Structure formats: C-alpha cells, structure tokens
Structure 1
Amino acid sequence: MALVNKVLIIGGGIGGMSAAILLSRQGIAVDIVEVNPQWAPDGAGITISGPTLRGLREVGVIDEVLRLGGSWRAVDICDMNGNVNATVPIASAVGADDLPGAAGIMRTTLADIMGKATRDAGARVRLGVSFETLAQDGNGVDVLFTDGSRSHYDLVIGADGVNSAVRKHLMPDFAGPKFTGQGSWRAIVPRLRENSTIYMGQTTKAGMNPISETECYLFVLDKREDMDFIAPAQWPRMLAGLLEEFGGAVGEFRDGLLDRSLTDHRLLYRPLAGHMIDGPWHKGRIVLLGDAVHATTPHLASGAGIAVEGALVLAEELGRRHSLEGALIAYAGRHYDRARLVVTTSARMGEIEREGGSREEHTQLMIVAQQALRQPI
C-alpha cells in the first residue's frame, strides 16, 4: 500500500516538475500549482552538469534536452582575446558514460520540455494559483487555494523557490537567503565553438556555454555591494563596462551592445543569494524541496541538478519506506550532504572571486566538488 495517495506540489520549477513526474509514475495522484500564469522562467540559458543530465535521464526527459539544447565534452580556456591556452576534458557522470559531460539549454525550452512531461505523466497542473492556508493534522493537509477552492492531501511538497511561501509557513523564524556580494549577467550570443569556452581577463572571467546548435549564452559574474534594483535600460552599458578588457568574440559582442536593441541579446541580470537549511526539511505532512531549502549560486552549475536529485531521492524514499515520517527523514538524510557540498563550495568560490583570492584554491574546490557529484546519488 502506498504511503501517500494524493500529493500537492506547490511550485512548478524544475524540482517541482521532476517530483510530479516521478510520483505520478508511482500511481500517486499529483496536483501541481504554480503562481506564474505563464509557467515561464527567466529567459536566460542554463548549464546542465553531467550529474544533472544523469538525473534528467531518470526523470525521462534527457532525449529532448539533448535534442533541443547544446552539449560538450571539453572546455576551452582562452586568454582575453580568445586564444586557446588549454582544453580541459569534462568527464561524464558515473553510470552515464553515454551522456556528454555537460549541456546547456534555454530555461524557457527546458521548462517547456518539463511541462509537457509533467502533464503527460498525469499530473493535474493549475497555473496562476497558489495556496492561501495550510492546515494539517495526522491524517493530511487541508489546503485553501488563492482561487477559493479547497482540497485535502496526504502530503504537500513546497517547491516554490528561494523565497518559498511554504517555508515561511513551516519555518517562520528563518531569515531568508543571504546576498553573496556578486551579480550574474547573461546574454544570448552566436555559438562559435564546439566546446564550452572560458575567457580569462585580468580582472574578469567570462564564459560561453552552448545552448543549441547555433547559440550560446554568455555569462559574467561581477562584484556588487548590495541587491539594489538595476533598471534593464542600464544593463547594456553596465555589461559593456564589465567586458572592457576583452578582445576577440567577447570584445565584438561588447562593441555591439550599445548599438543594438536590448532584445537582440536577451540580457538578464540578477543578484546572487543563497542559503542552506539544516534538516529536518519537513513538519508533519509538509516537506520542502529544491531552492526552498538549498539555494545556491551558479559556480558549479548544479542548482537545478540538486533540485532534480532531491526529487529523485524523495520519490524513492516515498516508494520504499513503511512510514511517511521515516521517508521524509531519509530524504533529507540522503540528500543533505550533496546539497550542502554544492551550496558551500559555490559560496566559497564566489568569495575567492570577489576578493581576488587564490586561483589554485578556486580550481581545487571545483575539481573536488565535481568529482564528488559525479558519484552515484
């Protein structure tokens, strides 16, 4: 007999959709609500590490991700003018030798793939809706939704992101994510190389990761004092200033920034924040997933990956345990160390970049973390 028969997932991001697909596959009735009526994330590219590709294969969407995205098995390390100084192979995840070392895709494309798979799995999706109140007892959770409807569930999963409203309900004293002192810039540019490319300037590092056969997304992290809002009209000028020292392809992109409309490159800026919450990640029949408990910066390209892995572990434990409490404790116990590795390593890498610290330590942190994440979950 299943531990739960009816589950509500609050939040339609990659973690929530992965959980919906996996639990529906077990024969569980799944409702998923997403407050965004368009079900559309920010329109930037996303890097998908080898372990994340392995996870997406278990979810069942890997073929479409590789068909519509871009992938690579090596990184070209270039100087500021685009001359290649080294090419570093990227190993596949353990148990996934047939998959590339990494891939990239537009977030909107990934959301479309995952959304279709969620509905095809049988989950009931409601957009533009969230919860108003959650009231639980030993038998389940009564949910009042923002559209006035009500329903009863055996389990509620809060997968509603870094500023999770479900987390505020469960953990009202948690202060929320902490700003890291960096901001992330992204833009869409033509794909010029087969591999991922890192351009090393004297004070800035820029990268280009393929997201399709013809496009890459360019990414730059910069040092910032606060999370103050930056008007999109200022983004081209500010990004051009960050890229001032580069020549080659990056320099050509910079020179065109101020001469083209903003939509040509689909620029995106966001301040970086993160947190890691100690277990347990549940109270009674309400449990948190993904960014709600472990939000990370993009230094290891694993934020989406640990959300997917969290969904895999949660679904596995719900499918094999004899008590709901045991399943939810085991979920956090199995997933905590990998999530913490990503969050803390990424935070330290950001500190080194912000402070102009040791490149050797930065590289070693990345290597150790990637080797650990390649191992089976």
Structure 2
Amino acid sequence: MSGQSIESLATALVVGGGIGGMAAAISLAERGVAVELIDLDPAWRVYGAGITITGPTLRAYRELGLLDQIKTAGAITNRTSLFRHDGSLIAVLEEPAIEEGLPATGGIMRPILHRIMQTRVRELAIPVRLGLTVTALENTGSGVAVTFSDASRGDYDLVVGADSIHSRVREIAFPHMAPPVPTGQGCWRISIRKPPGLDGAEFYLGHDNPCGITACGPDAVYMWMLTPHQPRETFMDEAELFAALHDLLRDFGGNAGWIRDTMTREDWINYRPLAAALQPGPWFAGRIVLLGDAAHATTPHLASGAGMAVESGIVLAQELARAGTVESGLQAYQDRRFGRCRDMIESSIAIGRLQLEHGDPAAHKALLEGALARLNQPF
C-alpha cells in the first residue's frame, strides 16, 4: 500500500534482500524514494522449509498489499491441535482472527513467500544488484558514501542494513553492538508432503524435544523440532541429518510418526543452532540504520521473527514519512520498535530456557499466551 511521501529522503540503499530488506525496500519505494537493493547471493535464493504466518505477520503483509497472494499460495487455518508425543489428542484450539478481514494463522513455503515479495520489488522497478555487499560506509552529514565489495561506489541519503544475523553493516558501522548469543537449543526442520488427514497446525508435547507441523500449501508441510544443541566441529551432511532426525522422532506417534516413517533422503532437512540478541541502541548511526535480524534476532518460539522484520520495514518508512528530518524519523522508528522487539526476544528466550530445564508446563503456557496476546496488539 502506498503512503505519505518522504520529502526529506530521495535515495536509499537496502543491504540484504531477505524478508526484512524487501519489506523496507517496498515500503520506501511506495513512498517515492528511489531505492536500490543489494544481496550477497548471486542468485537471490532463499533456503529453508516452510514458515508459520501468524495473525500479526499476516497483518503486516496486508499493509504491504501482499495478503491475497499469500493466502492463495500458502495454507490458512484457524485451529491448532495439541497432542501428546505418542499421538494422543490433548485439545483442539480454535484461533480467532486478531482483526476483521484477517485470517487467523497459516503457513507458506519460504521460497514461495520470497518469490511473492521479489515480484513486488520488480513491479516497483527497484534496481537489484546481486553477489554484492558493502565494505565501507561513511556518513557525510547529508547522506552516506558507500563502497561496495566490487570496488564500485555510491552515495545515498539513507542506508538500511537488513543483512541477516551476521550483518556486515552492523559490523562496519555499529561498534557498540555484538553478534547474537547462542541460546543452547537447536532447531530441526523438514519439508515434506502433507500427511493424510492433517487439517491445521499440530504441536506434540510431553517429550524432551517438542515438535510441530505447519501446513504450507495444498500438499506441503514443514515439521520443526527443538533439541538441546550439542556443539560439533563439522556440519552434518545429508545422510547424518536424515539419520539423526529419524532417530529423534522414534518416540512420536500421529502425523509426526507418519513423517518419520515416510521421510526420504529427497526431503529437505536442515538443522541450525539458535541464537538471539536485541542489539542495544542506537539502531542508527547518522544516516545508517538496522532492522530485522541485524537489530533484533530472535528464536522461532513465537513464530514471529519474519513478521517482526516486516513490521520494522513498514514502521521505518512510516516514521520517515511523518518526520521533518531523516534523523528524527530514525529516532521515532527506534522508539516505536525497541520495546516490542525486546518483549518478543525476551519471551522467546524464556520459553526456550523453560524447555531446556523441563520447566513447569503451566509456566510455559502462561509465557506463550501472554507474549502472543501482546504481539496481537497493533504495531
């Protein structure tokens, strides 16, 4: 959706072509800013399984004008079934929509979501340069002088660092910040065809390693599992990933057990250790600003990392449009986002800690419900 133009801002460079970077590029371009987007991957690909699209995330995508495409390409539901790990049903939770006209929740394959956003970037005629990052950034007072990794240079009124949890922009321009901290958990994911009879999201509880299944399309799901992270010197290859996940599912019934018995080496399997950090303010240095995982990296416990990145891209453009100067707009953006991101990150870390400590399920439930209720509030 287009919004108020940003008179104090003519040009912007967005570093990072992921979800947060594209949300910022789209939101700025729709307000009349000449945006350029760069991404380190020469093919502008995305790796990953599905992604859960919560109500707040759907609301943010509606603001970008992409809700209908996501509903068409993904899977929408209004219920989550809770099972014991052996497959016996505990409860079916009906999930109301947080706002009229919004689906309650759903899922979509991450590569499809990226293609939807990439299509919108191209529709807005945003120049995209690939295989590229930044190597130097210099605030000039009225803008930023940029040196790229191919030795080319450019000058911009604003530089947005949305270049992942390992942000190069953060490393260059924000010496008071540090890389995210490991949480002690790891997350397994597998993309596989839809189990027969699955009609909504599923969670499997009562085991040391909780897991869940999210429908992402007519015949596609992804399953996740959280386990204590065991550091090792080398990455697991495909055979090791398959064998390890198959073994981790040995105690599970229901559709989680069906996935164990049906999975093949052809199914995409991934494991990654979890890390999180709310970077201390300021999130901007002169005309350079951070958003998404570069500023507020979280864990998947609230299924809201992508949604928070989209929100930050939208809010950045909104506050720049409202402000009299770029600098006051950047401060307003930080003021509006910091507390919400802190709550989301701290709640996610606390839930993960409870899982590692085999904490009280009632405390887990209270943390989860409270955090989700707060995320449902307008951003």
Query: Which category describes the TM-score, using the shorter chain as reference length?
Result: over 0.9
Q: Is 2:119 the partner of 1:116?
A: yes
Q: CA deviation at 1:132?
A: 2.1
In structure 1, which of residues 359, 362, 372 is the aligned counterpart of residue 361 of structure 2? 359
Relative to structure 1, the CA distance from residue 227 to residue 363 in structure 2 (aligned partners, 3 Å threshold; closer, same or farther) is farther
Q: Is 2:51 the partner of 1:49?
A: no
Distance in structure 2 (CA, Å) of the matches to 1:51 and 1:228: 38
Residue of structure 2 in register with 1:125 after alignment = 128
Distance in structure 1 (CA, Å) of the matches to 2:207 and 2:223: 18
Distance in structure 2 (CA, Å) of the matches to 1:28 and 1:249: 48
Q: Deviations over 1:257-310 (max 9, x none)?
A: 4xx32x2x2111111111011222001010001100100000000000110111
Distance in structure 2 (CA, Å) of the matches to 1:294 and 1:330: 16
Distance in structure 2 (CA, Å) of the matches to 1:61 and 1:329: 28
SS in 2 for 1:129: coil
Relative to structure 1, the CA distance from residue 228 to residue 172 in structure 2 (aligned partners, 3 Å threshold; closer, same or farther) is farther
Amino acid at match of 2:12: V
Matches within 5 A, 1:145-224: 145-191=148-194, 192-224=197-229
Q: TM-score, normalised by structure 2?
A: 0.94
Q: CA deviation at 1:201?
A: 4.0
Distance in structure 2 (CA, Å) of the matches to 1:91 and 1:286: 39
Q: TM-score, normalised by structure 1?
A: 0.95
Q: CA deviation at 1:84?
A: 2.2
SS in 2 for 1:203: coil
Contact 2:208 2:227 in 1 (8 A): no
- 49-58 vs 235-244, greater mean Cα deviation: 235-244
Q: CA deviation at 1:189?
A: 2.8
Residue of structure 2 in register with 1:11 after alignment = 16
Distance in structure 2 (CA, Å) of the matches to 1:356 and 1:176: 28
- Unpaired segments ≥5 residues, structure 2: 1-5
Question: Percent same amino acid at aligned positions?
Answer: 40
Taking only aligned residues, the RMSD between alpha carbons, in angstroms, comes to 1.4
Distance in structure 1 (CA, Å) of the matches to 2:289 and 2:325: 14
Matches within 5 A, 1:322-341: 322-341=324-343
Residue of structure 2 in register with 1:254 after alignment = 260
Q: Give the length in aligned residue pairs.
A: 371
SS in 1 for 2:268: coil
Distance in structure 1 (CA, Å) of the matches to 2:82 and 2:233: 33
Q: CA deviation at 1:350?
A: 0.4
Contact 1:92 1:374 in 2 (8 A): no
Distance in structure 2 (CA, Å) of the matches to 1:117 and 1:228: 40
Q: Is 2:110 the partner of 1:87?
A: no
Relative to structure 1, the CA distance from residue 227 to residue 21 in structure 2 (aligned partners, 3 Å threshold; closer, same or farther) is farther
In structure 1, which of residues 14, 29, 37 is the aligned counterpart of residue 42 of structure 2? 37
Amino acid at match of 2:325: S
- Unpaired segments ≥5 residues, structure 1: none
